[in-house]
A and B are shown apart, each in its own frame.
Chain A
Amino acid sequence: GDSVTQMEGPVTLSEEAFLTINCTYTATGYPSLFWYVQYPGEGLQLLLKATKADDKGSNKGFEATYRKETTSFHLEKDSVQVSDSAVYFCALIPGGFQKLVFGTGTRLLVSP
């Protein structure tokens, strides 16, 4: 079945460090790919998306590129801030009706 695998956390970084959170997927057909973020005490928010191969999603300094050949959608940011501390979820919609399939989430902790 369709699934998403994320690197386990927590990821602990100092402010201004480079961030990578790995995400790979298994899906039939051509899924759309997403990163959601969950700040403490809040609901999930869509961070960025990519709907076809080689698309790059970007938002708030975060980027991810849809790599069909490696079935990956890794999240990157050049310089993290303390305010980026949150849980990040990689997700996909396999097609048809928009049923999101989530990974297990990766907690990011950024220290000053």
Chain B
Amino acid sequence: EAEVAQSPRYKITEKSQAVAFWCDPISGHATLYWYRQILGQGPELLVQFQDESVVDDSQLPKDRFSAERLKGVDSTLKIQPAELGDSAMYLCASSSDLWEYEQYFGPGTRLTVT
């Protein structure tokens, strides 16, 4: 069964350092999502792509976060510089297109900022 791949699974970094996460969606899925899940809370959408274009990044802290999906396939989410409050699970999801209800989630990257 096709899955969404994410790496790394775990990342520990010091504050003020740069960190990057990678996501490879299910093959053929045009829509890709990055969510942040703070411990004890539900996931919150950071950015949504349709192919290589950003559809929604209204909740992305653009002073320190950036996301790209250059060829419309895999995607990278970067934080620079990391802050203590960025400690969370970062989830990637994909769906076949913008109007498809079901989103398929990867296992996530757990980030700890020290």
| A contact residues vs B (CB 8 Å cutoff) | 4, 32, 34, 36, 41-46, 49, 51, 89, 91, 93, 97-100, 102-105
Question: In the bound complex, what is the Cα–Cα distance between A41 and B41 (angstroms)?
Answer: 16
Interface membership of B61, Cβ < 8 A: no
- A-binding residues in B (CB < 8 A): 4, 31, 33, 40-45, 48, 55-56, 91, 93, 95, 98-103, 105-108
Interface centre among B95, B101, B107 (most CB of A within 10 A): B101
Q: Would you call B41 and A98 a contact (CB within 8 A)?
A: no
Q: Decide if A102 touches B43 in the complex (CB within 8 Å).
A: yes
Cβ contact within 8 Å between B107 and A41: yes
Cβ-closest chain A residue relative to B38: A104
What is the CB-to-nearest-CB distance from A9 to chain B, in angstroms, rounded to a whole number?
10
For B100, list chain A residues within 8 Å (CB): 98
**Chain B residues whose C-beta falls within 8 Å of the C-beta of A42 in the assembled complex:** 107
Which single member of A93, A98, A103 contacts B42 (CB below 8 Å)? A103
Q: Which of A44, A51, A104 has the most CB of B within 10 A?
A: A44
Would you call B91 and A98 a contact (CB within 8 A)?
Answer: no
The residue that A4 contacts in the complex, of B42, B93, B101, B102, with Cβ under 8 A, is B42
Do B101 and A97 touch across chains, with their CB atoms under 8 A apart? no
Closest 6 CB pairs of A and B: A102-B42, A43-B105, A44-B105, A43-B107, A104-B42, A102-B43
Q: Can you list 16 contacts pairing A with B, beta carbon distance less than 8 Å?
A: A34-B101, A36-B105, A43-B4, A44-B105, A45-B105, A46-B102, A46-B103, A98-B98, A98-B100, A98-B101, A102-B42, A102-B44, A104-B40, A104-B41, A104-B42, A105-B41
Complex-state Cα separation, A45 to B107, whole angstroms: 10
Chain B residues whose C-beta falls within 8 Å of the C-beta of A51 in the assembled complex: 101
A100 to B43, CA, bound (A): 9
- Closest-CB distance, A84 to chain B (whole angstroms): 19
Asked if A97 contacts B55 (CB within 8 A), the reply is yes
